[in-house]
Structures are given as C-alpha cells and as structure tokens.
Amino acid sequence: MAFLQLKSIEKKFGEARVIQGIDLTIERGEFVVFVGPSGCGKSTLLRLIAGLEEISAGSLELDGRDITKLPSSKRDLAMVFQSYALYPHMSVYDNMSFALRLAKADPAVIKEKVERAAQILNLGPYLQRTPRELSGGQRQRVAIGRAIVRSPKVFLFDEPLSNLDAALRGQTRVEIAKLHRELGATTIYVTHDQVEAMTLADRVVVLRDGRIEQVGTPLELYDRPASRFVAQFIGTPQMNVVSAGVLPQLQSVLGVRLPGDGVVGLRPESVTLTTAGKGQFDGRVELVEALGAETLIYVSTASGAQLTSRQSTRTQLRAGDNVGVDVDANAVHLFDAQGHALPVPVAH
C-alpha cells in the first residue's frame, strides 16, 4: 500500500483551476521533489498536502488514513518554510521545543528530542542563542530541527534554501541529504532549482500549469524526457533544440528520418567541436564561457541554428572562430510539433 496517495487532487481559486487533477503515489521513506517554473502549482500542491489550503476535489491518504478534510494540526506532517518563521524572542532550544511544549509532552522527552536534533544538525553550541545571533544557514537548520523533534510521518520543505547565498545553499543541500539518509523519513521538497531536484530526489515530479508533466528518477528525466518542456527544464545548460528544417544536415548526420514539423534535441555534452571543415557540419563560435572545470561554447551555423557545446577541457577558441561541429547520433531526442517525445526512427 502506498504511504501517501494523491487521488485526482484539484484546487480552484474562484474560477481558476491551479491544480488540475493530480494523481501521485509516494512510498514510505522516499524523497520526492516537486519542481517546475514559477506559477506551475508546486507550492500550492504542497500546501494542499499540508492542510494549509483546502482541497477543492479529490482525496488525500496518509498511511491508509483519509486526511483530506483533517486540519493541518491533525495530519502528522511537519513543514519547513522558505522564511524561517522562528520566534525572535525565544532561544533556539525554545523554538525547537515549542510544539512539544504546546502538546504538554514530558520535559525529559522534550530535552532528549531537542538535543538529538541539535546533534544531527550541529546546533548543540547554539541552543541558548536567539535567532538574531545566528547566520541564515543556522536559522534554517533551527527550522528543520523544529520539524525533526515532532517526529512526523512526512517532512514538507517549501523552497527552504532560496533565502541563502550560493555557498550556503550548497552546504545546506548536503546537510538535508545526509539528514534524510539518517532519519529515513518520507520527504516532499519543493524547489524551482533543478540542481536541487537532481541532487536530492529519489524521484522528481515535474509540474507545469497545475499538471504533472513527468515523474521519474533524476537520470530518467535527464536521459528520457517525455516532452520538450522536461528536456529543456532538466539539465544545465539547457538541451539544444533545433527545428528539423533549420539544420538539414542532421538528417544524414544522425541517420534518422526527422519529422518535418518537429524538433531535434541534443544535450550540450553530445555536441563536440573540431577543426573547421572536418566536422559533420560547420559553425562559428559566438561566445566562450570558461568555468574552470568545464567550458561552454556557443556556436551558430550558417542556417541560423544555435548550439551549445559543453566540454570538460579548456579551449583556445575565441568568439568569431570557425569550427567543425560533430554530434552524437546515439544521444538525439526527437519531439513533435506539440512537444511530445517521439521514438528515434532508423533511416532506410
């Protein structure tokens, strides 16, 4: 039996259907990430699960119990928000223990749970400090610790790293991954950052306009996107997408019949550059981004196609250089005019 099951979940604000019939099964101990562009409904869906918004249609079951109509306090879930939502006048210890004290838990149990959470999150030396005496990353860890001490059945994270700088985001992302391994807790995590989704998730749910576009492991979405939208949303830099008619050389290069009204997708690492005149077709370097561990090279062709090549070595190429372009025929993706993935046919 599924641990958490969403059945035909809908949410309306007036006449607007912002969540449009979501069906999803989440297993016990799974780390699931909701990802998608702004306005796709990912935070709204999380708030429906949390009980912070009323479900307009459909049902929600947790561990065999229908919780669709239950208030958030009765759902056995704990949520960590984008804003830390800490009580500024309380110590770290009091912030973390507040829900348990409110429930009149045994003080000895409270002390044990808070100290255990503090140990996991490296907050032991800060238990008597107030939030204003902490860094942003430490405050976020306090918010996570407050959720841990409640021992919920499901942890809900709503873009918890978006207020942190880049270095702290990376560090806290690692800590959240370690925390999940240690606790083995069922976790639903919302983010607009596909790097977070790729690195944290057991499965990723890609949302678009209130619907699920695709569900799968991070590498399934990367290697076998079900649509052009997923293909271009997952992966940095974006997948190269070229209209079949713009680069006619691809027909013979790839050895496949290309849909006349469709598009061809190529990951940047499957586009390699060589000496001008020696590639499968020619191009001109428009921009070079030297990132240290990798180099991104942006190339245009005479027919107007724009391609990005990613290579793990450094380059002497400069903007304006003519180059040859080779593509990996085994890594091609095809999409029809509506953006749906097509099987790659073999040319006769």
Strand ranges in the chain using DSSP code E only, listed in sequence order: 4-13, 16-26, 31-35, 57-62, 65-66, 77-80, 154-158, 186-191, 203-208, 211-216, 240-243, 263-266, 271-275, 281-290, 295-300, 306-311, 322-327, 333-335, 341-342
Q: Would residue 217 count as lying in a domain?
A: yes
Q: Would residue 347 count as lying in a domain?
A: no
Which residue, of 177, 204, 228, is where some domain finishes?
228
Are both 39 and 113 inside the same structural domain?
yes
Q: Would residue 88 count as lying in a domain?
A: yes
Are both 64 and 89 inside the same structural domain?
yes
Which residue, of 228, 245, 260, is where some domain finishes?
228
Domain count, the chain: 2
**Domain that residue 131 falls in:** 4-228
Q: Would residue 348 count as lying in a domain?
A: no
Site of tokens 């016990």: 28
Q: Would residue 24 count as lying in a domain?
A: yes
Are both 333 and 311 inside the same structural domain?
yes
Whichever domain contains 251, its CATH number is: 2.40.50.140
pLDDT for 122? 85
pLDDT for 306? 94
Are both 288 and 144 inside the same structural domain?
no
Are both 184 and 318 inside the same structural domain?
no
Are both 90 and 158 inside the same structural domain?
yes
Task: Give the tokens for residue 299.
Answer: 């190339």
pLDDT for 345? 65
Whole-number Å distance between alpha carbons of 140 and 163: 9
Are both 157 and 176 inside the same structural domain?
yes
Are both 246 and 287 inside the same structural domain?
yes
pLDDT for 184? 87
Which residue, of 228, 258, 273, is where some domain finishes?
228
pLDDT in tens, the chain (348 residues): 579 999 999 999 998 999 999 999 999 999 999 999 999 999 999 999 999 999 999 999 999 999 999 999 889 998 888 777 888 999 999 999 998 898 888 999 999 999 988 988 889 899 999 999 998 888 888 988 888 888 889 999 998 888 778 777 888 888 888 888 888 889 999 998 888 999 999 999 999 999 999 999 999 999 999 999 999 999 989 999 998 778 877 777 777 777 778 889 999 999 999 999 999 999 999 999 999 999 999 999 988 899 999 999 999 999 999 999 999 988 889 998 899 998 876 554
pLDDT for 84? 75
Q: What is the pTM of this model?
A: 0.89
Whichever domain contains 16, its CATH number is: 3.40.50.300
